[in-house]
Structure 1
Amino acid sequence: MGLGDKISNKAEESLGKAKEALGGATDDEQMEAEGKADQTSANVKQAGENVKDAWKDASK
């Protein structure tokens, strides 16, 4: 996995955490849900990249 992908996924996860916290602090359920969705999306992308890395390592 490229460094850019790692940074992008981490940034998306961090933004999701911030949105979730802000939504919880302001009682904005929609923002809180969006934050959770952003985190889930980032985690799924990261898992896919980990599978690719494992496949590449196994192919060597």
Structure 2
Amino acid sequence: MAKVKTRIGPNLLRISTTHGDTETDITKTELQTQLDHKRLDKQRVQLEIKEIEADIEMLNI
């Protein structure tokens, strides 16, 4: 998990890990893109779980 440490410029952020051992500079756009991808991955996994649950329910009939 990362957290924003400082704002370097109008569109540039310095983020660090929660332990503070690694720092990275990233633009707001890049950060938003990464968050969007993680959100899509999470939705995809949730859909797969629902499909598996439906398959299990069908097998239990």
TM-score interval w.r.t. the shorter chain? 0.5 to 0.7
1:53 corresponds to which residue? 52
Question: Normalization by structure 2: what TM-score?
Answer: 0.57
Choose between structure 1 and 2: higher helix proportion: 1
- Regions of 4+ moved over 6 Å: none
Choose between structure 1 and 2: higher strand proportion: 2
- 1:27 is displaced (CA, Å) by 3.9
Question: Normalization by structure 1: what TM-score?
Answer: 0.58
Give ranges in structure 2 of 5+ residues lacking alignment. 2-12, 16-23
Give ranges in structure 1 of 5+ residues lacking alignment. 1-16, 18-22
Instruction: Identify which of structures 1 and 2 has the higher relative contact order when contacts are C-alpha pairs closer than 8 Å and 6+ apart.
Output: 1
Name the aligned partner's letter for residue 40 of structure 1: R
Q: How many residues align?
A: 39
SS in 2 for 1:26: strand
